[in-house]
Chains A and B, each alone.
Chain A
Amino acid sequence: MSGTRQSGHPQANEVVRLDNVKRHYLVGDEIVRALDGVSFSIRRGSYWAIMGPSGSGKSTMLNILGCLDRPSEGAYWLNGVNVAEMEDNQLSDHRLRNLGFIFQSFHLIPELTVRENIEVPMLYLGMPHSERTRKAKELADRVGMSHRLRHLPSELSGGQRQRVAVARALANDPAVLLADEPTGNLDSATSVQIMALFQELYEQGKTVIVVTHEHDIAQYAKRSIILRDGCIASMHGEDT
């Protein structure tokens, strides 16, 4: 592609780096520019919020950051590797090793118990059984869910489910925790608890990116990007 601009390798402390990322869709005869040249970088151990109204390219940004989608143009470096050039299997492996997803509607597997849900990424990583069990317990303990290991998601409250989802997201020791409207399905009291959990993880040195349209939630982050019409409208906060 002629438009692809090769850019320099990210610095060691940049866990995420986007260089002029574009994502275009063809809808009918029309080209929709969901992302139209976005560049920014995120340092390891920082806490970011990505905001924007619907149609701003927020979801597309989430999919690209989450390695579920590739940019049409530009480069996206996640943990030192350019995702734009990856094929499907590499992309899967990259997600498995570097990303922890937290979704708005939790997305736990309903047939699996809490422990088994937390173990899913470890299973794909090929961890031996004893280690999986040990680590699942440890993670459940970390999110305060160790008393519910044998329960099915349907037996848990929303807040509990999201805690389990956070434990699962941590199971592969990801470079980046990527949360998509993590409190969208929770009441305000539970939301506060979940955001406190994120704060805790940030303080433990995790890189956290929260994609949200709620200002209250974005307030927890140290830095934020506001997207509008596929471009960065503004950036706030200090890099820590």
Chain B
Amino acid sequence: MTNILIMWPFVRLGLTDVWRHKTRSLLTMLGVVFGVASVIAMLAVGEGASQQALDSIKRLGSQNIMVTSEKPTAEEGGNVNAVQSKLAIYGLLYDDEARIRDIPGVELTVPARMVRRNTRFGERQLELRVVETIPAWFDVVQRPVLRGRVLTQNDLDMHANVCVLTENGVRRLLAAEEMNDQRIRIGAGMFEVIGVVKNEDGGSIRAPDSEADVYIPMTTGKKLFGDANMRPTASGMEGERVELGQIIVRMNSVEVVEKGSKAIEFMLARFHKKKDYRIDVPLTLLREAERTKRTFNIVLGAIAGISLLVGGIGIMNIMLASVTERTKEIGIRRAIGARRSRIVIQFLINTCVLSLGGGLVGLLLGMAIPFIITWSTGMVTVVQSYSLALAFGISAAVGIVFGLYPAMRAASLDPIEALRHE
């Protein structure tokens, strides 16, 4: 306590000195201000982006493995199933799903087909993105229910002509009114709307159904439309035959996810002549995203480090000038009986006032910038408390490190010489 009281006059001296040279102090602080502000702002933007990515990956489920049908590349596709009829046959098979279910550690498999189909609602006719799937889909991929209900096992068993719309689908049908119990025509069948679910909101990595408009029971879809999907083109009909567009595999624990995905890959490679599928493991994506984030943080750290270094050199420069300017005062203080360490402390306090002042302004600026970014671009930013502490800590460290040399120089002055200085 007494120490603080003894230090206070020196702190005040530092403050008045900074105040006396307002312009100079301000310019000196700028380096630290921008250094600190950029650390906080960049970390906030980076954190926002990566949190968004991580969130969307997490929504896909870290226990899940996504297996998706993919049209093989031209040469590969050319020598296989491209028969004269222009019917491309590729993708995952019903048998694949059964085989995956036999792999140890697999808890659940959820098949789905994603097809664009002509839809009609009242006078409005348009193409909707239809997902044919089973009720478990809604367990694996979270879709909050807004109204009504989602598909049930009973719908599946009964081959019921029911559908669940997404908010997106509702919007595209231009249906402002209550959609429940309304009927829409999908392809050749009439479907009763039993519920509305929320769409996925933004994010760089999306669930397979992120753009879907409507869900129908898989059994109903197969009965009505079969496996082939023909579409008219300029040169006649063109189509593709895909049994399953997607299989979401849920493993019974996170630990077996990697092993499970290896097993699925091995099995599919055996049964598919060409690579007409893709395996995505959210867990791997998650790890990659985390790695990317680390790299990003290192880059940010380097940039911030450089700007703070520049700020620190600025402070050192000014402090050296200040030492020269105050040589006589140093001489007086030394003659009165101040130890060298007291002179060091006095100058260190002075630089710390500059760097902490700069740090404080930088802190406010750094918190304002992400706010402005979010407000003007809609980007998600997250200002983390640790980044505030970090930036402020660094600015204090800059003050001490770069203040030390001028302070030592001040203290090493010979009092006799210093007193003679004009």
Contact = CB atoms under 8 A, between A and B. Distances in A.
Contacts of A101: 335-336
Interface stretch (B206-214, B326-334, B354-362, B394-402): B326-334
A150 to B, nearest CB: 14
A133 to B, nearest CB: 11
Contacts of B340: 88-89, 92
A99 B337 contact: yes
A103 B419 CA distance: 10
A142 to B, nearest CB: 18
A117 to B, nearest CB: 9
Interface stretch (B2-10, B136-144, B253-261, B267-275): B2-10
Nearest to A180: B419
B20 A111 contact: yes
Contact of A124 (B17, B331, B338): B338
Interface stretch (A61-69, A183-191, A229-237): A61-69
A92 B419 contact: no
A212 interface: no
A107 B334 CA distance: 12
B293 interface: no
Contact of A95 (B5, B9, B329, B335): B335
A129 interface: yes
A139 B20 CA distance: 28
A132 to B, nearest CB: 9
A110 B9 CA distance: 15
A88 B334 CA distance: 11
B101 interface: no
Interface in B221-277: none
A103 B335 CA distance: 11
Nearest to B16: A111
| Residue picked from B337, B339, B342, B415, most chain A C-beta under 10 Å | B337
A124 B342 contact: yes
Interface in A93-130: 93-97, 99, 101, 103, 107-112, 116, 119-121, 123-124, 126, 128-129
A129 B5 CA distance: 8
Interface in B366-420: 415-416, 419
Given A109-B329, A126-B2, A68 B335 contact: yes
B5 A92 contact: no
Interface residues of A, number: 32
A120 B336 contact: yes
Interface in B9-49: 9, 13, 16-17, 20
Contacts of A168: 336
Contacts of A108: 332
Contact of A89 (B328, B336, B339): B339
A112 B13 CA distance: 9
A92 B416 contact: no
Contacts of A123: 6, 9
A121 B342 CA distance: 12
A92 B338 contact: yes
Given A124-B342, A128-B2, A128-B5, A92 B334 contact: yes
Contact of B337 (A110, A112, A119, A172): A172
Interface in B291-346: 328-329, 331-342
A36 B181 CA distance: 117
Contacts of B332: 107-109
Contacts of A120: 333, 336
A93 B2 contact: no
A126 B342 CA distance: 12
Contacts of B415: 68
A111 B15 CA distance: 12
Nearest to B339: A92
A209 to B, nearest CB: 15
8 contacts: A66-B335, A89-B340, A92-B339, A107-B332, A107-B335, A109-B329, A111-B13, A121-B337
Interface of A: 63, 66, 68-69, 88-89, 92-97, 99, 101, 103, 107-112, 116, 119-121, 123-124, 126, 128-129, 168, 172
Nearest 4 CB-CB pairs, A to B? A96-B337, A95-B337, A92-B339, A107-B332
Given A93-B337, A96-B338, 17 more contacts: A66-B335, A92-B338, A94-B337, A95-B335, A97-B337, A101-B336, A107-B328, A107-B335, A109-B329, A109-B333, A111-B16, A120-B333, A123-B9, A124-B338, A124-B342, A129-B5, A168-B336
